Amino acid sequence: MNLKGMNVKEGARRMQRAGRAMVILALSVFAVCAIAAGVYAFLPSYLHVTEVIGIVLPLLLTVIWICASATGLGTILWVAGWILDGFHNE
């Protein structure tokens, strides 16, 4: 195997690892936010603070948007690495 082929193979592996990491991290953050929202929903009514909703809701929507973007980009990177590795195999 020549040096150029090794670089393509290693680049494909790194693309796949980076894509997987982005997808896993984004889904983990989304899961933590969903669990936190579920816990907040089941708190007794005297612990609910209506002023917090004005802060938490926009923050939660922003986190959901960032997670969806990171998941999409990570998936594209993961698939691109997989395709690159497939083209390189002989």
pLDDT in tens, 37-84: 777 777 777 666 666 677 777 878 888 888 888 888 888 888 888 888
- Residue 59's pLDDT is what? 79
Is the whole model's pTM more than 0.85, yes or no? no
- Residue 6's pLDDT is what? 60
Q: Rounded to whole angstroms, how far apart are CA atoms 17 and 31?
A: 21
pLDDT reading at 30 higher than 80: yes
For residue 81, give the H/E element and its range: helix 50-88
Q: Rounded to whole angstroms, how far apart are CA atoms 15 and 9?
A: 10
